[in-house]
Structure 1
């Protein structure tokens, strides 16, 4: 009875505040205060101050604003034009043609930004007008961008992976390594779908892009080389043990500044905009983390997470059934909350349950990123859908319908991850990163 009352109070407080358009961070803090005041004798003010200070003084979180700034710098550079020009000669003759540029461009930008919405905007602002000019189907343009844009959550350096790592106290470096192979797998699934659909519909026979010489293809590779070097510098420094995730973020910022300056896309005005954009985003994330950490503490004092975990354990669910239930739960939750809020809101309850079930928390983090990616393209609160709605002029229903095949491919990716967990765990187990 006590657990039921606790659950009702916490959920009612939270959804009442969220439904009243209160900021997510304030909603989390308010819910925690209600729970602490009603069900514990702990001093609320002292507990809140100590928890918030302890979270924000974490060295691990230092990498977050740096990676955000790195993405902001590249977002304001001419990288989208470079990606399109460099990838066009390499992708033009594949079945599906330049639609593959959406996937490959998103995967590359995801590897240097860490943001889903920034990935969709950066690739889309160049590819949408170019693909429309070449008469590619609009639903395929929109669908591939919606799906591929979500790769920013999975392929390192992922902002959301950092949040997850901090929430469950797991190595950021190992999480970054774990995201590489699943990210490549998901990109290949998207490209395979484009190719198969093009062959079935005969689009590859009707639309043949101009042939490019080997010299032009080599020139395209040269245009992409600085980007690949930046990716290698960030990810390679972590994998080889030369740098921690935080140190690699510093390298990434320096490299992105050099790359933007060499491309001629960095002025003092854009530099200031990138810096202020990073400050705003980092402050928003830090504020949400403050609320979630205090809510986790409040729930811990009441014993609710342990009680719920014990109740679910008493159901004797198989690991597969637990994953199925969690997948449905996060997809539904993602219809109303963004990815970061979904993760920080639920980890206090989900983490002990998942650990008790024997799941590897590195593997679970990658699984969670894919499930949260699905939420990016599900209405009514799919951030990638909003981004593409503003860029294409289509209504939300059209964009959601165009993105649905990518949603199904993400479900397939989850199935493959469950059947072959080494997809996520192989690289982290093989690496010897420094602490951090």
Structure 2
């Protein structure tokens, strides 16, 4: 009976989400219905305690700081300088300047922690320039859709912070575990671009006028501010000097200092960035609170136990379990954002994952990768929404252009399963 109640609540949740109601309010509303109708607990007391507990974590304070840092970069010349510093080095590669999407996203991911912020910032820089130079819209937009998901995997990552809090694992180890898989995935994206360009040479514009090595080095001076900020944030974490939260504060201070040196941040844009970061964090906080309360309600109803029993009864081998979880997260990603997916599922999946003997650090990177897949799956693919706003293209068309990159990410999931040391080697050195 508990299973059917839980199934009915899930259907109700999907209906409410489909109605267009804010995700956080939808989660809170369905949880409130579940607590009032199907459990003996006081819904009001439970909601107050759960909401406070889910939003008052000290570790979670890193999230708004990283958001603010990304907003500062978005509103200054620092992000524009990145393209100018990268372009001269890519003319000889197959695909040429299409690689700026991947490299730009890889660099910006290391200072933003958000795939949506990475997509918006890099897209505003690269898409107009690539269009002006004659690169195909489908490849420019599709590669940006896929590459911008690196904002979730390459540290500092907002989704890793949420997973670390939910699964009670070291965020610093999660951050360092994402470095090699992030670089491998970026390389796979560039490999796809190179292969595509070899079969579509007529669609790739001619190379720019050649530059000497000295001229390329001089153009690379534009990368110094961004690289300095990356070194400040990640270096402070990996050296043990600062926690993730302290490193986020250093990142904000560093971004403000660099913007002041370049005189590229006005008082107006400073206020706009602060308000935008607060708005996004409030949205995320509401989702976290709603997801935590819904998780509690589902726990009282018995859904985690039923799901664990069902998965356990299948007696799946580790490869089959991973395949099932990939399919599960992809389907879930069609209806929920990444943060909701992580918070809603961790309590349910942790016992099964631990029983299967999967390392929780490795599983965290795995979860981030499959959540990345959800970022470019309609109808609730955040990166698709961002690109739709940037390009005014149809959502289904954007999703279709991102499909090859989606398949590349599926291959990356298979790779980290077959070679887990890609994830675990660096954390093992800490």
TM over 0.5: same fold?
Answer: yes
How many residues align structurally?
430
> For 1:32-111, what aligned pairs fall within 5 Å after superposition?
32-111=31-110
> For 1:158-173, what aligned pairs fall within 5 Å after superposition?
158-173=157-172
Assess if the C-alpha contact under 8 Å between 1:338 and 1:376 holds in 2.
yes
State the alpha-carbon separation in 1 of the partners of residues 204 and 113 from structure 2.
Answer: 37
Distance 1:394 1:24, change over 3 A: closer
Distance 1:214 1:27, change over 3 A: same
Q: What is the CA deviation profile of residues 169-195 of structure 1, one whole-angstrom value per residue up to 9, with x for unaligned ones?
A: 222111111111111111100111111
Assess if the C-alpha contact under 8 Å between 2:154 and 2:182 holds in 1.
yes
Distance 1:210 1:417, change over 3 A: same
Assess if the C-alpha contact under 8 Å between 2:94 and 2:197 holds in 1.
yes
> For 1:225-240, what aligned pairs fall within 5 Å after superposition?
225-240=224-239
Calculate the TM-score normalised by the size of structure 1: 0.94
Once the two structures are TM-superposed, the CA of residue 204 in structure 1 deviates from its matched residue by 9.5
Once the two structures are TM-superposed, the CA of residue 83 in structure 1 deviates from its matched residue by 0.8
Q: Say which SS state the counterpart of residue 288 (structure 2) adopts.
A: helix
Find out whether 1:27 has 2:22 as its counterpart: no
State the alpha-carbon separation in 2 of the partners of residues 299 and 51 from structure 1.
Answer: 13
Assess if the C-alpha contact under 8 Å between 1:96 and 1:203 holds in 2.
no
Calculate the TM-score normalised by the size of structure 2: 0.95
> For 1:388-399, what aligned pairs fall within 5 Å after superposition?
388-399=387-398
> 2:151 is matched with which residue?
152
> 2:423 is matched with which residue?
424
State the alpha-carbon separation in 2 of the partners of residues 91 and 406 from structure 1.
Answer: 20
Distance 1:140 1:13, change over 3 A: closer
Assess if the C-alpha contact under 8 Å between 2:27 and 2:294 holds in 1.
yes
Assess if the C-alpha contact under 8 Å between 1:95 and 1:204 holds in 2.
no
- RMSD, aligned α-carbons: 1.8
State the alpha-carbon separation in 2 of the partners of residues 120 and 55 from structure 1.
Answer: 28
Q: Say which SS state the counterpart of residue 41 (structure 2) adopts.
A: coil
Once the two structures are TM-superposed, the CA of residue 72 in structure 1 deviates from its matched residue by 1.0
Once superposed, which parts of structure 1, at least 4 consecutive aligned residues long, lie more than 4 Å away?
Answer: 203-206
Q: Say which SS state the counterpart of residue 21 (structure 1) adopts.
A: coil
> 1:114 is matched with which residue?
113
Distance 1:138 1:306, change over 3 A: same
Assess if the C-alpha contact under 8 Å between 1:305 and 1:352 holds in 2.
no
Assess if the C-alpha contact under 8 Å between 1:334 and 1:378 holds in 2.
yes
Q: What is the CA deviation profile of residues 120-141 of structure 1, one whole-angstrom value per residue up to 9, with x for unaligned ones?
A: 1211212122212221122211
State the alpha-carbon separation in 2 of the partners of residues 333 and 218 from structure 1.
Answer: 46
Q: Say which SS state the counterpart of residue 148 (structure 2) adopts.
A: helix
> 1:267 is matched with which residue?
266
> 1:199 is matched with which residue?
198
> 1:187 is matched with which residue?
186
Distance 1:28 1:380, change over 3 A: closer
Q: What is the CA deviation profile of residues 130-156 of structure 1, one whole-angstrom value per residue up to 9, with x for unaligned ones?
A: 212221122211111111111111111
State the alpha-carbon separation in 2 of the partners of residues 135 and 22 from structure 1.
Answer: 40
> 1:140 is matched with which residue?
139
State the alpha-carbon separation in 2 of the partners of residues 206 and 159 from structure 1.
Answer: 37
> 2:311 is matched with which residue?
312
Assess if the C-alpha contact under 8 Å between 2:229 and 2:251 holds in 1.
yes
Distance 1:75 1:139, change over 3 A: same
Once the two structures are TM-superposed, the CA of residue 205 in structure 1 deviates from its matched residue by 8.7
Q: Say which SS state the counterpart of residue 413 (structure 1) adopts.
A: helix
State the alpha-carbon separation in 2 of the partners of residues 407 and 195 from structure 1.
Answer: 17
Distance 1:198 1:16, change over 3 A: closer
Once the two structures are TM-superposed, the CA of residue 347 in structure 1 deviates from its matched residue by 2.3
Once the two structures are TM-superposed, the CA of residue 289 in structure 1 deviates from its matched residue by 1.0
Structure 1, gaps ≥5 residues long: 432-436
Q: What is the CA deviation profile of residues 70-128 of structure 1, one whole-angstrom value per residue up to 9, with x for unaligned ones?
A: 11111111233201100011112211111111110111011111111221121121212
Moved more, 122-131 or 347-356: 347-356
Once the two structures are TM-superposed, the CA of residue 371 in structure 1 deviates from its matched residue by 1.2
State the alpha-carbon separation in 2 of the partners of residues 396 and 52 from structure 1.
Answer: 34
State the alpha-carbon separation in 2 of the partners of residues 19 and 133 from structure 1.
Answer: 38
> 1:372 is matched with which residue?
371
